[in-house]
Amino acid sequence: MKLVRYGERGAEKPGLIDGGGTLRDLSGQVADIAGTTLDDATLDKLRALDAASLPAVSGDPRLGPCVGNIGKFLCIGLNYSDHAAETGADIPEHPILFFKANSAVVGPNDNVSMPRGSTHTDWEVELGVVIGKTAKYVSETDALDHVAGYCVVNDVSERYFQTQLTGQWTKGKSCDTFGPTGPWLVTRDEVPNPQALDMWLDVNGERRQTGNTSTMIFTVAQIIEHLSGLMTLHPGDVISTGTPPGVGMGMKPEPVYLKSGDRMDVWIEGLGQQTQTVTEDS
């Protein structure tokens, strides 16, 4: 299934995309696409519905983040060997973890607004993993059973804030609008192998990132095993699993960063496309 949240910011309704591409309203079935509705039993119930009997949504409504009320937004850094190489970083021995503030989360096609004084805002296409079942001390073998589904994340990053302001990477990752998520949550039954997904990102129609999740240093299952040994993962938590090469800070001979008016198009195979226009905070 492709589950969505649509409508005005803060008032999104649950929906699904049927086999013909029509947006259907799920308000009569669940209150939201969020932690309490991401368990296997609820997803099986939704999967069994006759989609054609659900109300069709007219027009072209805004799509919100595909997960509501995200509990934790966990991010893995330097998880592609070729991306680590382009940034001059060593291959990590364990997954590098940082957090993205939930206030950064926006819909897949909402504007991305650079914070005041930003000169180093960058792009990162990433595979998002949405937890559907509580995970604590989960083995790699069982890890994917705890996944509700997958989505596209653009881990927008302000590199100066990230690397030059004293403190953690979170400073450059958590600016408002720096977490476009969606367009939809694709349930795990439609993604039999999360380590075989092509991914791309264009800026102003020019291809900047091309990658495949097969080149992750740590797989989705390994990441879940590692994180669940450190903290309990709850339904509705989102893990952004790292980016392939082609980010602005790694471009040669000089880094290239986003500016107001730029357009980002972001895809992952089978998970949909995002499009954002870059603006500036007033």
Contact 271, 186 (CB under 8 A): yes
Q: What percent of the chain has pLDDT over 90?
A: 90
| pLDDT of amino acid 4 | 98
55-108 pLDDT, tens digit per residue, is 999 999 999 999 999 999 999 998 998 777 777 778 899 999 999 999 999 999
Give dist(CA 281, CA 187) in Å, integer. 35
Q: What percent of the chain has pLDDT over 70?
A: 100
Lowest mean pLDDT among 13-22, 215-224, 244-253, 260-269: 244-253
CATH number of 73-280: 3.90.850.10
| pLDDT of amino acid 163 | 87
Q: What is the CA radius of gyration of the chain?
A: 18
125-177 pLDDT, tens digit per residue, is 999 999 999 999 999 999 999 999 999 999 999 998 988 887 788 899 999 99
175-212 pLDDT, tens digit per residue, is 999 999 999 999 999 999 999 999 999 999 999 999 99
**Predicted confidence (pLDDT) at residue 273 exceeds the cutoff of 80:** yes
Token pair, residue 182, equals 């969606």
Question: Which bin fits 242, alpha (ψ -120 to 50), beta or left (φ > 0)?
Answer: left
Domain boundaries, the chain: 2-53, 73-280
Give dist(CA 26, CA 121) in Å, integer. 36
| pLDDT of amino acid 81 | 82
Helices marked H in the chain? 40-47, 81-86, 159-164, 170-173, 220-228
**The residue type at 252:** K
